[in-house]
Each structure stands twice: as C-alpha cells, then as structure tokens.
C-alpha cells in the first residue's frame, strides 16, 4: 500500500453548499430570533458529501487496495438528486460540532461578516442510509445581559465598539476569526426563568448579537436531536464497526515497543442480522478463514495504513468494540505515531482533520471519578460497549468474557495471552487461529450492541432529552436537564440565567419508616407511588418560573387560591396563573417512559424484557434527575426551594399514606384484622392486612391504592405493586421476600434488597451462601433448627470446597481478622462442611 497518499478525498475544504430558500422573501414577516434559530436548525440546507467523495474514494481504493479486495457493497448507495428548494431532507443526527469557516450570506439573517465565521456542522444518516453532512450557516452565538438603568438605544453603538475593542485587545480567539467579533447589539425585553412568574422583574435586556470568539467555546448543542421527524422507533441504517486488535506483548503492551499484529473489523448494516463484511488484517501471512476476508502485510506500517484507509472507504457511522475508547484506538494512533505512519490518524469524516488523543475525566457523586481517553473521530459515533455497560448495568465483572456469557450465553474463543507471541511467530495456521480469536473479539461487542438495543435506546434518549448521542456516554445528567430546560424556555421566550454555584449544606431528603423487623409468614402488600417526585412537581406546579420569592405573593395581590405554600414554607403559583417549565419537561419524559413500559408489558423474551426494563429505568432516572438538578448545589441552576419542597411533600405523603391505610383497615371498620404498615421507604408502604392468602392481599392492596390515590391531586398516583409472601425484614433498606405480582398462585421470583446477596463488595462465597440460605428459608420454608442442616447441603458455594480446604490454613488468618459476621459464618460453615465431605467417600451431589 502506498503510504504517502493523502488520506481521504483531499484537503479539508468544506464542500460546496446549497442554500435553502426559507427567507428569500425579504418582505415576509420576520419570526422572532428564537423561532429563526429553530427554523434554521430544522430547514437547514444540507448536502450529500458522498457524491463528490465517491470518485475520490474509488480512486483511492484503486490505488491503495488490490482491485480484488474491493467489494462494491462496502460503499454506500449513491444518493438521488435532491432539490433543496422543494424537498426536505430528513435525517437522524449522529453528531454535531462546529468549525470556523468562510462566511456565507444567509437571507434574512444578520448581515454577513467578512472573513471567517462559526459554522455548525451536523452529521447524520437518512432512512435510506445516505450519509449527510449539514453545514449550518447564519447562526451567530449570542448572550443576553441586563441593561443598566438609563441604558438606551443611543448607547448601543458605543457598547459594541467598546466590546470589539476589548476583544481585539486580549487576543484570545486566535487568528481563525477575522473581522469584528460583535456583529450587533440589540435591545429587547425578556424574562429570566428564575424570576417569579408575574413579578414584572424582566426589565430591558441588552443583547449583543454574536461574539464568536468567546462564544465559540460557550455554546453547546442547541436543540440537539436535529428535529428529525422519523417515527419514534427508527432504523438507523448505518454501519457499525467493531475493530479489535491484538498486540505482541508482555504484560502491558507499550505502543512504543509492542507491534500491532492483527486488526479485525466487521461491517454491519443496521437492521440486518449478520455482518456483511468480516475483515482480518494481519501481519505476516495467514491461512484463509471461511466467511472472512483476510489480508496480510509484511510491514506493520502497511497494516496500520490499510486499516486507516479501510475506515475511510467504508465510512462507518458507528464504531463499537470493547474498551476501544481507552485502549484500542489510542494504541493504534500512538503506534502509528511511533512508526511514523503520517497518514494514519485521519479517522473522522472531515478530510484532513487529524484524530488526536485527549485525556478527560468524568466525576459525579454517583459514579465517582472515571478517567477516560477520547479519540476524536469527527462525524462518527463511538459506542464503546464497555463504557455502555459500565453506565447502564451493574455487573460483578465487566470482562468481555463474563459480559458475553451473561447476556449472550457465549464465551470467548480462549487464547491465553502468553501464547499470542508464539502463535504469531508460528506459521500461517497459528496466525489463522489468532485471527479467528480476534474476529470473535470484534463480533461479540457487535452482537451485544445489537442484542442490548444500545443504539435504539440511545437515540430515543438523545431525542427525548435533546443532546447529541456522544453526550450520553461522555456527559452526565445535568446537561440533559439543561438541554430540555432550554428547549422549553425557548418555546416560551424565556431566558436561562447564569448563576454562580457555591456549595452549601445538604437538605433533608426522604423518610424511611422504622421497620418492624422480623420474619413474616403472611402476605405483605406493597403500595408504591408511581414516579413520586416528578408527579409532585407536576401536581403542585413546582418550577423556577412559578416560585414566588418571600412576600411577593402578597405584593402582587394574589388570592389564596392562586398559589400554594409548600411544607417548607415556599410559595409557588398555580397552573391557572402560569404553567411551569419543569412540569412540562416531566410530562414529556414520563410519556416516553410510559411508552417504554407498554412495550415491556408486551414482551416475552427474557433478554429483551431486561433491555426494555433498562430503557424505562433510564427514562425514570432522567425524570428523577430533573428533581436532582434543582438540588444540585454544584450545578448550573440550583434551586433548593424546589427540591426541598419536593422532599417535604414526599415526607408528608408517605406519612399520610400510612395513616390512611392504618385508619381504614381496622377491626372497627369491619375487617378481620387491623392493617399495619410494617415498613416503607420514600414512596412505598409495606402493609400487613392480616389476611392469609396472596389473592386477598392483592385485592385489598389494589383497593387501598385506589382509595389512597383519591386523597392526592392528579397526577399523583399510588399503585399496588406486589405482594411479598413470606417476607423477611432485616432492617432499613435490607429485606427479602418471595414476590407475587402477575398471579396470586405462583411467585414470580425471590426478591432481595440490600442484602449481601445483591451487593458486589462481597466474595461469591458469602453471596452464594446468603442466597442459598434465603432460598431454603423463603422458598422451601425451612424455619427453625432444620434450616442449617438442610440449606448447607445445597450450597453452590460447596463447589469451591477442595480449594477452600487447601487454602484454609492461610485464609484462616485473614478471615479471622475480619469483623464481618457474614464472611465469618460463611467461612466457618464451609470449613466444617468441607472437612466432613472430605472424609466421606461419596460426597452429595452438589447443585449448580
């Protein structure tokens, strides 16, 4: 392969642009700036890069790759001609970024500045699989600032001049941007979203229009889902690709030292069951593999170069793999740098734009600190399955092997790391074995991506919350809430203020009802509010825009029925005065969750059920994060009045629910036994109605839930969720029970909350022992002295008996120093047992 060729279709000149004609008619009434911006996003002229690229690509294919290696199916279909004047171009946005490029006049927009301007660039695919790159001109970054008293139109010229002067003085934007930074200053009147709804605080606000140098770094992603009008469940017919590379190595492969010996890639069109391409690039000859294309190179430089070229030709929309983000891709780039393969690191969609490695880290209270590397690949979505799994699923092990087994029931092709070197140094058959292993490594993440419906779920989340796909893996919950807030605020012409965040004290959260600990051999019905915090915010119209500062209610002459006072003493106006933004956002999120739940109810396949459950859970977390956002004191817009009110209402509600249930279901009211709430956490109550059958408990639970719901304003709803029978209540947030919900005559499963059985910070021995004991206790109902002798014979933990015995000498020391009763009991039991089994000639059959 000719290593000297420039990558891709030539230097990074942005391709030609067509203009949409939306504002060609200058006489047409001008929409407000907000609507304009929105419309710009919606109706933007877009152009197909493919057509002009294809010739070049073919050229490069012919030069770089043996003609026999080119399969026309690798390339995308040729897009039909599109008349931007008449036809809309509808596509799913995959990524959006911005660059500084030559100005283009936008009809009806601000006057074109000379020189370079910031341009938004959206990448995506259409339903037919055509690749789209949309250059969005005419968007000038802007901000609002309150005008000082006495500021009038006559001062605007001065302000603009001064601003430009100040900006050119501290020359921070670099040389990319030329011409004046501030294009215009306008006066307008807007209301800040944090101010009380009808306070009339919104004075005149100055509006410098466009200050590219600073703002170029400030703006995020306006209305990120590209306003795409595809149906909710869409087919992105893109290509996913899973590279996996093997390295010759000792323990830690070092890109400065250890060569890359194979790179395997699979190509898949979304919606098709099997990859249309399996490609193994190897160093040194390799025997053919059925169903895969093998290409061998003598020089490592050529191998890397070939892969880089391949990526550009195949042009995938999505790239997946396992830990590619932190290992494979950075390794390949570093290795190429070491070998001085100059044309390698151009993996993105913009020709001539270098892919570089950047260190970044994400930290939040939930996840702790996570350090990652970022390899830039403009226009492609990187869906590293490891990152996806780390965020979405709680697993005991995240190795590809464990994960594949867990979700797919498949194991990896096992090749010991230590023999990779030997295999590579063997013959073409041993290298073939290595390639098969490598292909499997690429195949598994791809299968996971498809089976776990990662893309479908991610696209839904991106659309609902209005952020680019890549944010879902690289950013947290705040950005999603901010994006939705901005979207909603824009609809209503409100502005979001910039507030300085300072840390403060924690506020009071939810109540956990003191548990009546014990073993219950009667059915316990569980009632739970559906989406408690979101529904509180909706029911009481809690929002930044409905909050009344202390005393304002009186000042504005609001009557008592126009506002409410929350348990914390804060005041909010009712819907009749103004409907809050947050309730509307929540409506949207909850309706998305409702759709997901409806799909879940229809599904029967266990894995798909698990996936759909994950999807509805993710939407639930997003909705709860709206509440969390208002209480995030190190955040963009904290408002403790809202979050404290929410938890305050919540505390009142669980208490009231408990009272209601215990007051209605009493002997005096004609029930056989008085009901008792034995436990409850935040928004749930566990009730003992005193009935002995599950069916009766279910009936009473349903009735009680409906009756209690009537005591709260819509959309707050208490739901009957499940019955536990029997129920073992150990302490707050720690209990177990057999769960009945779908039918009264058979339990659905055993449910464990907070016990060692579900925690991941114990050794498997403890977890297995606890699980097995609970099984005996709850399912086999062995209570009393027999429990020990019965349960221990069926411990899965016994599988490790011989090992335990051998290691007991050393283990004893470390175990006995532990203070954990669980661990001690497990270990002692195991030890006793192993001794007795060791001695018996015919050990009992161990159950798996």
Binding residues vs ligand TTP (CB under 6 A): 528-533, 620-621, 624, 627-628, 682-683
DSSP letter for 325, please: I
Torsion (CA) 137, 138, 140, 146 in degrees, nearest 10: -150
Binding site for DNA (CB under 7 A): 217-218, 220, 362-366, 368, 394, 475-479, 501, 506-512, 528, 621, 624-625, 627-629, 631-635, 643, 647, 681-684, 730-734, 752-754, 756, 758-761, 818-823
Distance CA 267, CA 274 (A): 9
Q: How far is the CB of 512 from DNA (least distance, A)?
A: 4
Residue 477 touches which of Mg ion, DNA, ligand TTP, none (Cβ within 5-8 Å per kind): DNA
- Residue 485: closest CA among 636, 642, 649, 621: 636
CA dihedral 337, 342, 347, 349 (to 10 degrees): 150
Kindly state the smallest distance separating residue 721's Cβ from Mg ion, in Å: 8
Q: What is the DSSP letter of 78?
A: P
Q: How far is the CB of 201 from DNA (least distance, A)?
A: 24
Q: Which is nearer to DNA, 306 or 479 (CB)?
A: 479
Work out what residue 842 binds among ligand TTP, Mg ion, DNA, none; the CB cut-off runs from 5 to 8 Å by kind.
none
Q: Out of Mg ion, DNA, ligand TTP, none, which partner does residue 450 contact, by CB within 5 to 8 A per kind?
A: none
Q: Strand 734-740 to strand 524-529: parallel, antiparallel, or no bridges (unpaired)?
A: unpaired
Name the residue nearer to ligand TTP (CB basis): 478 or 624. 624
- For DNA, the closer of residues 167 and 279 by Cβ is 167
Binding at 632: pick from ligand TTP, Mg ion, DNA, none (beta carbon under 5-8 Å per type):
DNA
- Residue 734 binds which of DNA, ligand TTP, Mg ion, none (CB < 5-8 A, kind-dependent): DNA
DSSP output for 800-832: GHHHHHHHHHHHHHHHHT---HHHHHHHHHHHH
834 binds, among Mg ion, ligand TTP, DNA, none (CB under 5 to 8 A by kind): none
Task: Output the smallest distance, CB 621 to ligand TTP, in A.
Answer: 5
Nearer to ligand TTP, 60 or 530 (CB): 530
For residue 265, the SS3 value is: strand
Q: Partners of 91 in the beta sheet?
A: 126
Binding at 281: pick from DNA, ligand TTP, Mg ion, none (beta carbon under 5-8 Å per type): none
Q: With respect to ligand TTP, which residue has the nearer C-beta, 384 or 683? A: 683
Rule CB under 5 A: say whether 683 interacts with Mg ion: yes
The entry of DNA, Mg ion, ligand TTP, none that residue 479 binds, CB within 5 to 8 Å by partner kind: DNA
- Give the nearest distance from C-beta 71 to Mg ion in angstroms: 53
Q: Please, what is the minimum distance in Å from the beta carbon of residue 790 to Mg ion?
A: 37
Q: Taking CB within 5 to 8 Å according to partner kind, which of Mg ion, ligand TTP, DNA, none is near residue 633? A: DNA
Centre a 10 Å sphere on the Cβ of residue 413 and count the other Cβ atoms it contains.
16
For residues 244 and 666, give the distance between their C-alpha atoms in angstroms, rounded to a whole number.
Answer: 66
**Long-range residue pairs from 797-801, CB within 8 A, at least 24 positions apart, any chain:** 797/764, 797/765, 797/768, 797/769, 797/772, 797/826, 797/830, 798/830, 798/833, 798/834, 798/837, 798/846, 799/846, 800/765, 800/830, 801/830, 801/833, 801/834, 801/837, 801/838
Min dist CB 531 to ligand TTP, Å, is: 4
Shortest Cβ 257–ligand TTP spacing (Å) = 45
Give the tokens for residue 184. Answer: 């215009």
Apex CA 105: angle with CA 91 and CA 212, to 5°?
A: 85
Q: Are strands 277-283 and 244-247 parallel, antiparallel or unpaired?
A: unpaired
Within 8 A by CB and 6+ apart from 503, the residues are 633, 634
The only residue of 302, 528, 751, 756 in contact with Mg ion, by rule CB under 5 A: 528
Kindly state the smallest distance separating residue 740's Cβ from DNA, in Å: 16
User: Which position among 310, 407, 529, 827 is part of the footprint of Mg ion (CB under 5 A)?
Assistant: 529
Residue 206 or 650 having the CB closest to Mg ion = 650
Could you say which of Mg ion, DNA, ligand TTP, none residue 409 binds, taking C-beta under 5 to 8 angstroms by partner kind? none
Give 120 or 660: the residue with its C-beta nearer to Mg ion.
Answer: 660
**Nearest distance from residue 193's CB to DNA, in Å?**
18
What distances in angstroms separate CA 842 from CA 402, 797, 821, one per listed residue? 33, 18, 31
Listed in sequence order, the residues at least 6 apart from 48 whose beta carbon sits closer than 8 Å to its beta carbon are: 79, 82, 130, 131, 132, 133
Binds 591, which of ligand TTP, DNA, Mg ion, none (CB < 5 to 8 A, cut-off by type)?
none
Q: Tell me if residue 239 falls in helix, strand or coil.
A: strand
Backbone phi and psi for residue 449, each to the nearest 5 degrees, phi listed first: -55, -40
Q: How far apart are CA 183 and CA 799, in angstroms?
A: 74
Nearer to DNA, 48 or 615 (CB): 615
Q: Which residues bind Mg ion (CB under 5 A)?
A: 528-529, 532, 683
């Amino acid at each position: 392969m000719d290593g000297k060729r420039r990558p891709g279709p030539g230097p990074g000149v942005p391709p030609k642009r067509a203009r949409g004609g939306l504002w060609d008619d200058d006489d047409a009434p001008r929409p407000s700036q907000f609507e304009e911006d929105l419309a710009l996003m919606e109706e933007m002229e877009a152009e197909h890069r493919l057509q002009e690229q294809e010739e070049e690509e073919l050229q490069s294919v012919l030069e770089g790759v043996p003609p026999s290696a080119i399969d026309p199916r690798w390339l995308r279909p040729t897009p039909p001609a599109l008349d931007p004047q008449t036809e809309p171009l509808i596509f799913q946005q995959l990524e959006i970024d911005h660059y500084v490029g030559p100005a283009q006049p936008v009809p009806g927009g601000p006057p074109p500045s000379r020189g370079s301007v910031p341009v938004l660039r959206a990448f995506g695919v259409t339903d037919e699989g055509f690749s789209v790159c949309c250059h969005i001109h005419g968007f000038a970054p802007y901000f609002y600032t309150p005008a000082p008293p006495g500021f009038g139109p006559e001062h605007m010229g001065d302000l603009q001049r001064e601003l430009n002067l100040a900006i050119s003085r501290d020359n921070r934007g670099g040389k990319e941007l030329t011409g004046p930074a501030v294009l215009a200053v306008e006066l307008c009147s807007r209301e800040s979203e944090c101010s009380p709804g009808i306070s009339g605080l919104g004075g005149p606000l100055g509006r410098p229009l466009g200050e590219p140098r600073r703002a170029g770094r400030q703006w995020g992603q306006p209305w990120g889902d590209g306003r795409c009008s595809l149906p909710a469940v869409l087919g992105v017919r893109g290509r996913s690709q899973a590279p996996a590379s093997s390295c010759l190595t000792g323990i830690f492969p070092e890109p400065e030292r250890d060569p890359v010996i194979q790179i395997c890639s699979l190509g898949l069109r979304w919606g098709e069951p099997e990859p249309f391409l399996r490609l193994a690039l190897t160093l040194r000859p390799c025997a053919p593999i059925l169903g895969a294309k093998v290409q061998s190179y003598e020089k490592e430089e050529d191998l890397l170069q070939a892969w880089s070229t391949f990526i550009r030709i195949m042009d995938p929309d999505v790239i997946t793999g396992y830990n590619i983000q932190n290992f494979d891709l950075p390794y390949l780039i570093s290795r190429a740098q070491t070998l001085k393969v100059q044309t390698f690191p151009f993996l993105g969609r913009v020709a001539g734009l270098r892919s570089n490695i950047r260190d970044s880290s994400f930290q939040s209270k939930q996840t702790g600190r996570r350090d990652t590397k970022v390899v830039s690949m403009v226009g492609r979505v990187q869906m590293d399955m490891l990152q996806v799994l780390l965020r979405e699923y709680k697993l005991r092990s995240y190795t590809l092997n464990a994960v594949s087994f867990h979700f797919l029931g498949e194991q990896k092709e096992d090749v010991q790391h230590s023999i990779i070197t030997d295999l590579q140094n063997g013959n073409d058959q041993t290298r073939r074995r290595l390639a098969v292993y490598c292909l499997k490594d690429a195949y598994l993440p791809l299968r996971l991506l498809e089976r776990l419906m990662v893309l479908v779920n991610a696209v839904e989340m991106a659309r609902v919350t209005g952020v680019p796909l890549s944010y879902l893996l690289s950013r947290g919950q705040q950005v999603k809430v901010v994006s939705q807030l901005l979207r909603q605020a824009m609809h209503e012409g409100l502005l979001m203020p910039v507030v300085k965040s300072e840390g403060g004290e924690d506020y009071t959260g939810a109540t956990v009802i003191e548990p009546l600990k014990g073993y219950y051999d009667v059915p316990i019905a569980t009632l739970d509010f559906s989406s408690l915090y979101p529904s509180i915010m909706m029911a009481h119209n809690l929002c930044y825009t409905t909050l009344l500062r202390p005393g304002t209610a009186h000042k504005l002459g609001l009557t008592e029925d126009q506002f409410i006072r929350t348990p914390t003493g804060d005041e909010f106006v009712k819907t009749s005065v103004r409907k809050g933004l947050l309730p509307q956002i929540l409506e949207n999120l909850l309706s998305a969750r409702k759709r997901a739940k409806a799909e879940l109810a229809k599904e029967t396949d266990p894995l798909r059920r698990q996936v759909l459950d994950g999807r509805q859970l993710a939407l639930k977390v997003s909705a709860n994060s709206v509440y969390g956002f208002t209480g995030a004191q190190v955040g963009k817009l904290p408002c403790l009045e809202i979050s404290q009110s929410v938890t305050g209402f919540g505390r009142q509600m669980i208490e009231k629910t408990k009272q209601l249930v215990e007051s209605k279901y009493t002997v005096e009211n004609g029930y056989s036994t008085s009901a008792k709430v034995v436990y409850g956490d935040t928004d749930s109550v566990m009730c003992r109605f005193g009935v002995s059958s599950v069916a009766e408990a279910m009936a009473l639970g349903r009735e009680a839930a409906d009756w209690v719901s009537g005591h709260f304003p819509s959309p707050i709803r208490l739901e009957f969720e499940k019955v536990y029978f029997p129920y073992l209540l150990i302490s707050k947030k720690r209990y177990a029970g057999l769960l009945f919900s779908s039918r009264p005559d058979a339990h659905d499963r055993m449910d464990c909350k907070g016990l060692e059985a579900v925690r991941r910070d114990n050794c498997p021995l403890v977890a297995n022992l606890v699980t097995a004991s609970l099984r005996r206790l709850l399912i086999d109902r062995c209570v009393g002295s027999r429990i020990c002798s019965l349960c221990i014979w069926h411990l899965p933990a016994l599988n490790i008996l011989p090992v335990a015995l051998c290691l007991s000498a050393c283990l004893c020391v470390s175990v006995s120093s532990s203070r954990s009763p669980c661990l001690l009991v497990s270990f002692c039991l195991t030890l006793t047992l192993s001794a007795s089994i060791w001695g018996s000639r015919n050990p009992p059959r161990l159950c798996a």
